[in-house]
Structure 1
Amino acid sequence: MDRRLLLGLVLGFVGVVMFGATLPFTRLALGEMSPWFISFGRAALAGLVALVMVVATRRPWPLREPATMRALAVASLCLIFGFPLLMAVATQTVPAAHGGVVLGLLPLGTALAAMLLAGEKPGVGLFVASAAGAGLVVAFALRNGGAGAFGYGDMLLFAAVVVCAVGYAVSGRLARRLMGWEVIAFMLILCLPVTLPAALITFPWGAPVGAASWAAFAYLGLVSQFLGFFFWNAGLAMGGIARVGQVQLLQTFVTVGLAWPVNGEVPDVETALFAIAVVATVALAQRMRTRPLPPAG
């Protein structure tokens, strides 16, 4: 395997592990915080840290690059507002296990978005392997409480998949020209005029919030919303959006594994078997041929 691709896959997997802890820590924080404060507050916290980093490192602002600013705006709308809010509203009307279905379909959606928006040409074999992996994760989610009639919440979840896939494709293409951390940093800074006031409005003023909830919130802001994208964006840029996007098939099982120490939810043998099968499909996807990545720009 090409070294650049291998490094891209490793970086992508590190990002997936960081993202995989998002749901367990969100559940922990929800015990004493509102979902609105968690959503806006974590983006505001990450945005303030990003602002400090950009100023401290004296990175040039892309304000005079209209194409870059448009791409940053689209990625921000998708990944900082669209996907989290669609998921938050959807999970109020459908079982939580439907989130596993979303994670199962997202890599396939990311491959399609990479082809349509980022100029990549994934082969048929990669789509077949991605569809097989999606089927396994969807089957796992449905066997663990995700069954039910198709309704409004499911349409929101499908919309969340589309929005997130577009965000990944756009931010992954940006990461070919900017450093991975710069992409997410400028996205978060661009959103501060909205996220910071919203965080202050929804802040749990006067409500008793324990140290565990604040620690979980800090993880969501500093790691899930910021640091994880350092690795994820860099991985997408190095290994290809469509290829590295398949690694996210593993996120459901990372979440299940991390829910054991964080939430006391012990995984079973069936989960391990599904995880092994998904790993096999991810490995198969990496062996499929794709056309070379287009030049940065």
Structure 2
Amino acid sequence: MGLLLAVLGVVTFSLTFPATQKALPSFNAWTIGIGRAVIAAIPAAIWLKVKGVPRPSREHLIPLLLVGVGIVAGYPIFTALALEHVSSGHAAVVTGLLPLATAVFGRLRGERPSALFWWAAAAGAAVIVAYSLQHGIDGLALADLLLLGSLITGGLGYAEGGRLSKMMPGWQVISWGLVLSLPLTVPITAVSLAVSPPHDIAVEPLIGLAYVSIFSMFLGFCAWYPGLARVGVTRGSQIQLLQPLLTVGWAALLLDESISAWTLAAAVLVLACVGLAQWARLSLTPPSAKPEPVVAEKPVTVETS
């Protein structure tokens, strides 16, 4: 069941980039990136209320706020802004390193990847740099820096959410992350709508916005986080390796994007590097110290007169 939930989450996320590009003709990137969190917070708040879930304890507030910064605000807005300049296939290849970014934050939380892991990470980064340079310096200066921001914030949100899902149900993690982020997401969405109102409203942009709001921002995590909790963050993240290729396929099918041989080759190479990195098992605990050798004490003899 854990594996099925994780796969369902990844399939849901794989449609995020094509749905975002469907929404861009009518809504600006800030409205899509932050506004979807406001929309998703509505069913999240209703679910929490119906279930009678008490407010999170103080020890859970900071991790939940980090989930909000990473997944609710950072990752969506960075990817939405990047997709104004690059295709879904390009974004999918770059964000194929998201499992590695999650592992980096896991390292900061005490995990100890092997040397093989970091060699694979370096190889994947080299592929990404080569792919970005192939599109010219201008593309690298803006769109790929935005995608780098999505990797950092996404890795933070996944790592914290996966860790927190071991302490509370996964659906509560994303629900509280959305609700607690409302003081930030509501004002930004209001300003975005005032500065750049929706225009040329059509069915496809509305469907795109609805998908990234309900599925990508909420229901996908309701499957993803419980899946991570059941199978483990490291094992579950391996399933996410399918996401870039799925996104490239969806982009070709739904957006008629021309997928170049270089884009497909880069996606496969990234998957190979990330797969090798995840195959190098994480040592979650430091190696146990060798026991001190036991030195036998000399028997004490008492001389008697």
Q: Same fold (TM over 0.5)?
A: yes
TM-score bracket relative to the smaller structure: 0.7 to 0.9
Whether 1:121 and 2:121 are equivalent positions in the alignment is no
Query: In the TM superposition, what is the alpha-carbon distance from 1:239 to its structure 2 partner?
Result: 3.9
Structure 2 contact 20–212 (Cα < 8 Å) conserved: yes
Give the stretch that moved more between structures: 231-240 or 16-25: 231-240
Please name the residue that 1:47 is paired with: 41
- Deviation track 1:95-114 (CA, whole Å, cap 9, x = no partner) reads 55763464143322211111
Please name the residue that 1:263 is paired with: 255
CA distance in 2, matches of 1:262, 1:29: 13
CA distance in 2, matches of 1:136, 1:14: 28
1:29-178 equivalences in 2 (<5 Å)? 29-62=23-56, 65-89=57-81, 95-96=86-87, 99-100=91-92, 102-117=94-109, 119-136=110-127, 139=130, 143=134, 145=135, 148=138, 151=141, 154-178=144-168
Unaligned runs of 5+ in 2: 287-305
Query: In the TM superposition, what is the alpha-carbon distance from 1:177 to its structure 2 partner?
Result: 0.8
Normalised by the length of structure 1, the TM-score is: 0.79
What is the aligned counterpart of 2:177 among 183, 187, 195?
187
CA distance in 2, matches of 1:274, 1:192: 38
Change in 2 beyond 3 A, CA 1:265/1:49 = same
Whether 1:251 and 2:224 are equivalent positions in the alignment is no
Please name the residue that 1:209 is paired with: 201
Query: In the TM superposition, what is the alpha-carbon distance from 1:181 to its structure 2 partner?
Result: 1.2
Change in 2 beyond 3 A, CA 1:104/1:208 = closer
Structure 2 contact 93–263 (Cα < 8 Å) conserved: no
CA distance in 2, matches of 1:169, 1:214: 31
- Deviation track 1:12-65 (CA, whole Å, cap 9, x = no partner) reads 443222222111111111112222222232111100010111111222221xx2
Question: Aligned letter for 1:32?
Answer: S
Query: In the TM superposition, what is the alpha-carbon distance from 1:251 to its structure 2 partner?
Result: 2.6
Unaligned runs of 5+ in 1: none
Change in 2 beyond 3 A, CA 1:132/1:179 = farther
What is the aligned counterpart of 2:216 among 224, 236, 259?
224
SS of the counterpart of 2:280? Answer: coil
Query: In the TM superposition, what is the alpha-carbon distance from 1:279 to its structure 2 partner?
Result: 4.8
Structure 2 contact 75–150 (Cα < 8 Å) conserved: yes
SS of the counterpart of 1:151? Answer: helix
Question: Aligned letter for 2:161?
Answer: S
Structure 1 contact 114–241 (Cα < 8 Å) conserved: no
RMSD over aligned CA atoms reads 3.3
Q: What number of residue pairs does the alignment pair up?
A: 283
